[in-house]
Amino acid sequence: MARIDLDVNGKVHTIDADPDMPLLYALRDELGLNNPHFGCGLAQCGACTVHVDGQAVRSCVTPVSAVGNGKVVTLAGLGTPEKPHPVQQAYVEEQVPQCGYCINGWIMTAAAFLNSTKKPTDAQIKEALTGLKCRCGTHMGILRAVKRAAAMMG
């Protein structure tokens, strides 16, 4: 066990945890943040995705000790109904999710991608999102929303 400082959604928390424990369990169980979801524990689906220093990271395979001073942002920290991130806004406007369990992966990955890539082509969007999973088959809506968000972000 070790004392670990975590900067999450702009606030620093200190937890006492096994350094090998994945970040996902620190967020969910120690900090009570429910939004990153457990989907596979294998970095294969994206349901646990958060940003660390602006990069999309699969928290289910990231040891909590590896985060260091990195600034972690979860879906809850990305935006709010009052001040939404464009990807979130587009997700609502396009009514994308069915069950919605997968959305951390798509929204957090798309947000990181669109922050660094302006006016992406359809092919670039798909390539940026490849590997993420949605079992309900909302693929059409996901692509509509990310394109809409890309347009909003200029």
CB of 154 to another protein, least distance (A): 21
Residue 4 sits in the site that holds another protein (CB under 8 A)? no
Using CB under 8 A, which of the segments 50-58, 65-73, 80-88, 111-119 binds another protein? 80-88
Contacts (CB under 8 A) with another protein, residues 16-55:
17-18, 21-22, 25, 28-29, 32-35, 37-42, 44-45, 47
Residue 2 sits in the site that holds another protein (CB under 8 A)? no
Q: CB of 21 within 8 A of CB of 28?
A: no
Residue 102 sits in the site that holds another protein (CB under 8 A)? yes
Measure the CA–CA gap between 24 and 50, rounded to whole angstroms. Answer: 9
Measure the CA–CA gap between 15 and 4, rounded to whole angstroms. Answer: 5
Measure the CA–CA gap between 118 and 115, rounded to whole angstroms. Answer: 7
Measured CA to CA in angstroms, residue 46 lies from 2, 11, 126 at distances of 27, 24, 15
Which of 69, 81, 118, 154 touches another protein by CB under 8 A?
81
